[in-house]
Structure 1
Amino acid sequence: MTALPPPGPEAPASVPLGGHELSARFSGGEASAALPRTPRRKRTGLILGLVGGAAVIAALAITQVSASLGYDTAAENHADAVAAANSEKTQLRTENTDLQTLVDSAGLILASENEAIVAPPETEEALTSAVADAETATSEAEELIATDVPATGEKPTWFWELFGASAELEKGSDEARALADDLLAEASDVATASDTVTESGVSLLASAGEAATAFEAAHISARNDAVIALRDAAAAAIATTTIDDVAVTTYSTLQSAAALVVSTEAEEFAEKSGPLMNARLEIEAFARALAPGVLLEFDWAPVVNGAGYNGSMGGYTTWWWDDPGRSVIQLSNSVAEQWPADRSKALVAHEVGHAISVKCEDMYDSSTQDSIEKWATAWAISMGYTDDANGVWAYGYPPQGYIDAAAGCR
């Protein structure tokens, strides 16, 4: 055993036990109070400051990202709205240009002067009204086309700028969509105006073309070429389906053809004037009645085909097989001088027999002059004109087969 001495003033702070030494930190007294301590409050404040700063930075970052994404969405919507508005504007511009061209053509038709054929007043009034409405539509369309489409602009950098720019884009999108709707509505008005002008113009041309039939009948003495030109022009006018430069030309051609009918008739009247004029016109009317549907033109002279003096009469006919069938009949003045004698009627019937063959070319042999003359004589006989001036005196009596065949040519 080991003896322990009593403590004294110089006793150590710790006593080894079993070979171990205990630290003074575990004993009470001054030794414990002298150890240093860490300042916990300062360290906690720093941590909280760092955490708070990070939270602010994160919030700002989220706000920035959100603002950027929101702007991109607004920009995309704005681009779509602008594209739609620009598309409608392009379409309207094209349609309005077409309408302006249409109005110009219709205006030229309405401005035609010295019209020989006048369409019914209601058709011209309808076209005039349609043109006026179309001009209003084109003006309104031009004004709308000139409206600016809202621009996108540059994308801002910071979120506070992005929010404001997004709001402006949304406003611009609304304006672009509203403009697109207005453009679409105006395009509908332009289309309606275009249809109305077209319908009215086509109706006017068709009416004028249809009036050519009565016009021709009122100028029966016009020359064949002028009448054929009138018929062709009238057919083109009736077939018109659009109003454009071609329609303007078609209408002008119709009026020119009608004017030519009038002028050639006046020339024919001038040539037939004199004491025999009434008899000549009666003979021409008689001939036309014998061959309805065949264009007949007449020329008069003192001597035709070697006859005309001393009571003789002469006639000569030229005909064309093409469509429409037409003929020119030459008659001596003596035919008119002896009118309405049976011999005058019989001779005229013989010449009409030549003319009407344009409708019956397959009914007889036209390869020889003798056959041709016998056909004309047979035709006059089939019509009841038995005076020898029907061709019997000059060419002999035709075979009965010719007379029977000629009876089927009307």
Structure 2
Amino acid sequence: MSHPYPAGGHALPAQMTGPITPPPVVPRKRRTGAILGSLGAVAAVATIAAVQLSSHAGYDGAEAAYQDSVSAAATTAEQLRAEVGALRTTTDAAALILENNSGTLLDASSTDALGVAVSEGQTKASAADDALAVTLPQTDDKPFWFWELFSETQQLDENRARADEHAEDLQDQSDDAVATATTVTESGVAALVSAADSASALEAAHISARNLDVIALRDAAEEVSYTTTIDQGAADAFIALESAATQIVASEQAEIAEKAGPLQGTRLEVEAFARSLAPGVLLEFDWAQLVNGFGLDGGMGGYTTWWYDDPGYATIELSDSVAEQWPSAMSQALVAHEVGHAISVKCADMYDDSTQDSIEKWATGWAISMGFTDDANGVWAYGYPPQSYIDAAAGCR
């Protein structure tokens, strides 16, 4: 059997002889695009997630930093409150001192310096109050989305800067309060010490003031001289000193008024003489027509009461006749005898004061030791004292 084709050939079907249509193929390009799109979506999500995480971390850090600044400002505010409280206490006390200053003891320069310091203290305290009234913003609820977080983080950073600036201002105010309080204290203490020192001059200028009023002035001045801080206690001490100073003036006026009349000038001369015999002893004088039963018909009377206090003091009563016969040897001798009683407040341990006889011998011996030989020195009334009394009295000056 013959074959139309050479041996080993292959015959194709008849229908294969026409145009050949290849099977459909999915385009590779379209598959690549889908894959890339998926990857892009994943990357976008990852980016957004990263941004979210970063924005949250940024917000948390900013909020923590802001809260630290707020806490620091609050701590400084508490410090300032304490300092301005101390400043106000000092300034108010100093102002009270100025309000009660009569000008009797405080000199003009001390008053002016304290006035400037008080004004500065009031200004600084007011400025501190304004600073303490400043409030810092509260943080809102934390947002979620990054675009909100970024905005809020920026706001937190701005608030932190404000808080830091506020804390610095509070610290400056605190430093100013401390420095100003120191100035007020120094000015106040200097003024009060000056006032205390002036008390002795006031006493010397009002020598006729009553003993107890003089002692009150000395005590008040001593209290003020111990001042180291300006507070209510210091103001009270100064007010007491001012009151004592006012009383000294009024006391002397009252005493001089009691001595008014034709003998006033001579009475004051007698008192000055008596004080010259016993320097440092507080003496007060009363005058009457009769003293100790004497004062008429050329007679003279005297009587002395003394107190062993610290300081000791005495009241000497003299009859008007002592002034009428002044400055006779008799008048001077009698006055010397009475001063001999008064000065015993300085020499209590130099003689026996347990009996009236010993007391009178001492006063008589003292007058003799001072050179007053007229019998009105006590010899006429009490007899001549033993030499031992005169010698002992000579050591009392």
Amino acid across the alignment from 1:392: V
Q: Which residue of 362, 377, 387 corresponds with 1:375?
A: 362
Q: Show the counterpart of 1:397.
A: 384
Moved more, 80-89 or 294-303: 80-89
Moved more, 139-148 or 361-370: 139-148
Alpha-carbon distance, 1:47 to partner: 5.6
5+ unaligned residues in a row in structure 2: which ranges?
4-21
**Contact 1:78–1:152 (Cα < 8 Å) also in 2:** no
Q: Show the counterpart of 1:305.
A: 292
Q: Which residue of 142, 145, 162 corresponds with 1:155?
A: 142
TM normalised by structure 2 equals 0.88
Amino acid across the alignment from 2:183: T
What does 1:68-107 align with in structure 2 at a 5 Å threshold?
68-107=56-95
Q: Does 1:197 align with 2:172?
A: no
What does 1:3-402 align with in structure 2 at a 5 Å threshold?
49-112=37-100, 115=102, 117-402=104-389
Amino acid across the alignment from 1:299: D
Larger Rg computed on CA atoms: 1
Alpha-carbon distance, 1:41 to partner: 7.3
In 2, Cα distance between equivalents of 1:398 and 1:338: 26
**Contact 1:82–1:150 (Cα < 8 Å) also in 2:** no
Amino acid across the alignment from 2:144: T
**Contact 1:150–1:176 (Cα < 8 Å) also in 2:** no
User: In structure 2, the residue corresponding to 1:151 is in which secondary structure?
Assistant: coil
In 2, Cα distance between equivalents of 1:182 and 1:380: 76
In 2, Cα distance between equivalents of 1:35 and 1:266: 142
Alpha-carbon distance, 1:35 to partner: 12
Alpha-carbon distance, 1:303 to partner: 1.2
Alpha-carbon distance, 1:44 to partner: 6.3
Alpha-carbon distance, 1:180 to partner: 0.8
In 2, Cα distance between equivalents of 1:194 and 1:244: 11
Alpha-carbon distance, 1:36 to partner: 11
User: How well do the aligned residues superpose, as a CA RMSD in angstroms?
Assistant: 2.6
Alpha-carbon distance, 1:228 to partner: 0.9
In 2, Cα distance between equivalents of 1:57 and 1:116: 86
Amino acid across the alignment from 1:91: Q
Amino acid across the alignment from 1:249: D
In 2, Cα distance between equivalents of 1:270 and 1:225: 18
**Contact 2:105–2:199 (Cα < 8 Å) also in 1:** no
**Contact 1:124–1:204 (Cα < 8 Å) also in 2:** yes
User: In structure 1, the residue corresponding to 2:283 is in which secondary structure?
Assistant: strand
Moved more, 40-49 or 201-210: 40-49
1:49-89 per-position Cα deviation (integer Å, ceiling 9, x unaligned): 55544443333333222222222211111111111112222
Moved more, 388-397 or 59-68: 59-68
**Contact 1:150–1:175 (Cα < 8 Å) also in 2:** no
In 1, Cα distance between equivalents of 2:259 and 2:23: 153
**Contact 1:116–1:255 (Cα < 8 Å) also in 2:** no
Amino acid across the alignment from 1:270: A
Amino acid across the alignment from 1:321: Y
In 1, Cα distance between equivalents of 2:68 and 2:386: 90
User: In structure 2, the residue corresponding to 1:268 is in which secondary structure?
Assistant: helix
1:261-291 per-position Cα deviation (integer Å, ceiling 9, x unaligned): 1111111111112222122111111111111
Q: Show the counterpart of 1:18.
A: none
1:183-213 per-position Cα deviation (integer Å, ceiling 9, x unaligned): 1112222222222222222222221221111
Alpha-carbon distance, 1:99 to partner: 2.7
Amino acid across the alignment from 1:247: A
Alpha-carbon distance, 1:293 to partner: 0.9
Alpha-carbon distance, 1:90 to partner: 2.8
5+ unaligned residues in a row in structure 1: which ranges?
1-6, 8-33
Q: Show the counterpart of 1:27.
A: none
TM normalised by structure 1 equals 0.85
**Contact 1:85–1:149 (Cα < 8 Å) also in 2:** no
- Report how many residues are paired: 380
**Contact 2:274–2:335 (Cα < 8 Å) also in 1:** yes
User: In structure 1, the residue corresponding to 2:171 is in which secondary structure?
Assistant: helix
